[in-house]
Amino acid sequence: MIEITTDHYRALAQRLRREIGPADWFNGRIEMELPSPEASPEASPAEKTIAATLILTAIIYRRPETLPEGPARPITDVVPVWWEFHTSAPEQTEQTPNDFTFSELKPHLIDYD
């Protein structure tokens, strides 16, 4: 089983926030290479990553704010309608089980300020 680390969740959230942009919903797929937490130092570069795909349909809730630099709409909640997260180990075409949960990703998407 592939362990999804806090750094993985942060990287996924950063990419997902860019993909969401100013929208109030998201329906799409994000494909990323993530560092493998189990790779040995002697491993080849290909063996040091895992292929990850997040498929997500979600409603994005925002709050309006007026800031000195202009209006903003930070994310206050993300409600997944459907999600799937697939991983595969290096050099494999079959999926490898992982411990991803959307509840671990969600806090990295929300603006708590």
Q: Has residue 57 been placed in a domain?
A: yes
Q: Has residue 42 been placed in a domain?
A: yes
SS3 content of the chain, % helix, strand, coil (to 5): 25, 40, 35
Phi, psi (degrees; rounded to nearest 5) at 100:
-60, 140
**Lateral strand order in the sheet of 49-62:** 25-35, 49-62, 75-88
Domain count within the chain: 1
Q: Tens digit of pLDDT for each residue in 67-103?
A: 999 999 999 999 999 999 999 976 777 899 999 999 9
Q: Has residue 1 been placed in a domain?
A: no
Where in the sequence is the domain holding 95, given as residue range(s)? 6-108
What pLDDT was estimated at residue 25?
Answer: 98
Q: Has residue 40 been placed in a domain?
A: yes
Q: Tens digit of pLDDT for each residue in 1-32?
A: 899 999 999 999 999 999 999 999 999 999 99
